[in-house]
Chains A and B, each alone.
Chain A
Amino acid sequence: MRELSTKKITEAVRGLCIEANTNLSADVEVALNKALKDEESPNGREILRQLIHNAGIARKEKRPICQDTGSVVVFIELGQEIRLVDGSLEEAVNEGVSRGYTEGYLRKSIVSDPLRRQNTGDNAPAFTHVRLVPGDKLTINLMCKGGGAENCSAINFFKPTSSHDEISQFIIKTVELAGPNACPPVIVGVGIGGNFELAPLTAKKALLREIGHYNSDHDLAKWEKELLVKINRLGIGPMGLGGRATALAVNIETAPCHISQLPVAVNIECHAHRARKVEL
C-alpha cells in the first residue's frame, strides 16, 4: 500500500484550475492558428486573430482566457494500492477548487441549489468522477467547462439498427443548433453507447483527448475526420459570423451497451477548452 495525502490532491487541483484557465493548451492554440490559415471569411479571420491574441495576453499576464472560468469537472483514476490519508478525497478536490478560484481571481459560477440559485462563493463543489484502477498511481484529469457551450449539448437514443448516417445527422444538427451561442469554433465530444448516464460521461471524456489525435479505432478515426469536414461546411464560422471554422475537432469514444439500445451523447465544448492532467 502506498500512502497518499489528500493535501497533495488539494494542491494539485488548485494549481490545475489556475493553469488551465490562464494558459491555453498548445493543441488548442495550434488548432486556432490552423483555422486562421484556412479561414475564408474576413469577419471570421478577425475573430480568430483576436482569440489567438487573447491567449497570448492571458498567458503573459496570467489572466483568465475567458471570464466564464467554468464549472470544474474532475476525473480521478485512483490506484487500488493507494491508501488515502488526511481526510476525504471529495473534500480535498473541492478545497483545491475553492483555493484555486479564490487565490487565482477566477470567477465563481456555481450555485448551491439549481432553483434557489445562491452562489457558493468559491466555485465548489466540483463535479468529481472517481474510478478505481489497478496500481498505485492517482491520475487527475481536470476540465474547466464554460456554461455557454455546455448548454448546447444533447443526447438521443437511436435504434440499434440506426445507420451511421442518422447518427452523423444528429451530431451535425447538434452543432448547428448550438450555432453562435457555443462560441465556435467548438470541439465536439461524442459518446456512443453506454446508457442514460454513461453516454454523456463518455462524451465528456472524449473532450479530454488532445486535438489532432484521432481514435485508435481506424473506422472511428475515419468517421471523426468525415464529421469534422461536414461540420465545417455548415458555414457557421467563428462566433457564428459566417466562415469555415465551426469546429476544431470531433472526438468520438464508445462504450458497451444493451442489445436494445444505442444512445449517442454530444457534449459541446468551446474553443476556450481548458483541460489539464496530472499524475500523483
Chain B
Amino acid sequence: MSAIKLTTPLTNEAINALKAGDEVLISGTIYAARDAAHKQFGLQPPFDLQGQIIYYASPTPTKPGEVIGSIGPTTSSRMDAFTPALLAAGLKGMIGKGSRGPEVIEAIKKHQAVYFTVPGGAAALLAKRVKTARLLAYPELHSEAALELTVDNFPATVTIDSTGGNLFEAGRNKYAK
C-alpha cells in the first residue's frame, strides 16, 4: 500500500480524495492539544483553525538536545464533546486513537473533514517525524499544554473519511469470523 502525501493546511479537494483505510504521510504544521487544553480554549484555540489538524497528544518531557519527547496519540473520544463545534469553525483533521461518537462522525461528513489513527504506543517512532515543537499556550497544564509541531511524513491511517466511511466498522466486518 503506497502512502498518500498530505500537506497542511488541508484543502477540501485533498480531503475528499481520502478514503477510510488509506495510509497517509502528513507534512507541515499540526497542533497538539488534549483534554485540558480543549477545555481551556473552547472555540478560541490559540491558532487559526482553518484547514488545520489537531493531534490529541501530550508528549513525554524533552531531553536536552532533542526536538521533543515521545509523542503518541491519546484516546480521541474524550474530546468528542468539543469536536463538532471546532469542525464547524474550520478544523479539518484530527489525529488520535480509538473510536469517535456519532455526533463527531456526522460533523466530519457535514464539514468535509477527516479523522486519522496513529498507533498508540508508537510514540518514539512518531517523535522522530516531528521536526520542530513550540509551546503555544497553557504552560500551566504541563504535559497537556497546547503545542505547535512541524511534522515531516508523519504516518497515519485514514479512519473516518469525509463521506462517513469508517475503517473501524469496515475493518472489523471484514475480519470478524
In this assembly, does B90 line the interface, its C-beta being within 8 Å of a C-beta of chain A?
no
Known: A44-B175, A238-B119, A244-B175. 11 other contacts (CB 8 A): A44-B171, A47-B119, A54-B121, A67-B70, A67-B72, A106-B61, A119-B142, A148-B75, A180-B98, A181-B75, A270-B121
In this assembly, does A46 line the interface, its C-beta being within 8 Å of a C-beta of chain B?
yes
Give the residues in chain A near B69, CB-CB below 8 Å.
63-64, 67, 105, 107
Give the residues in chain A near B157, CB-CB below 8 Å.
43, 46-47, 239, 241
The answer to whether A242 touches B128 (Cβ under 8 A) is: no
The answer to whether B119 touches A67 (Cβ under 8 A) is: no
The answer to whether B97 touches A65 (Cβ under 8 A) is: no
Give the residues in chain A near B123, CB-CB below 8 Å.
54, 58, 63-67
Q: Nearest Cβ in chain B — how far from A176, in angstroms?
A: 10
The answer to whether B124 touches A107 (Cβ under 8 A) is: no
Q: Which are the 5 A-B pairs with shortest beta-carbon distances? A: A242-B171, A235-B176, A235-B175, A183-B120, A181-B98
The answer to whether A57 touches B124 (Cβ under 8 A) is: yes
Number of A-B contacts (CB under 8 A): 168
Q: In the complex, A108 Cα to B108 Cα: how many Å?
A: 33
In the complex, what residue of chain A is closest to B123 when comparing beta carbons? A67
Give the residues in chain A near B162, CB-CB below 8 Å.
none
Number of interface residues of B (CB under 8 A): 46
The answer to whether A105 touches B72 (Cβ under 8 A) is: no
Q: Nearest Cβ in chain B — how far from A81, in angstroms?
A: 40
Q: Residue-by-residue, is B115-140 near A (CB-CB < 8 Å gives 1, otherwise 0)?
A: 00101111111111000000000000
In this assembly, does A272 line the interface, its C-beta being within 8 Å of a C-beta of chain B?
yes
- List 22 interface pairs A-B (beta carbons < 8 Å), by A numbering: A41-B171, A42-B1, A43-B1, A43-B23, A43-B171, A47-B157, A63-B69, A65-B121, A66-B121, A66-B122, A67-B72, A68-B72, A121-B142, A148-B97, A179-B98, A181-B99, A235-B176, A235-B177, A236-B172, A237-B172, A239-B119, A241-B159
Q: Residue-by-residue, is A82-109 near B (CB-CB < 8 Å gives 1, otherwise 0)?
A: 0000000000000000000000011111
Q: Which of B40-48, B52-60, B81-89 contacts A (4 or more CB under 8 A)?
A: B52-60
In the complex, what residue of chain B is closest to A42 when comparing beta carbons? B1
* Residue in B74, B125, B172 whose CB lies within 8 Å of A240: B172
Give the residues in chain B near A238, CB-CB below 8 Å.
119
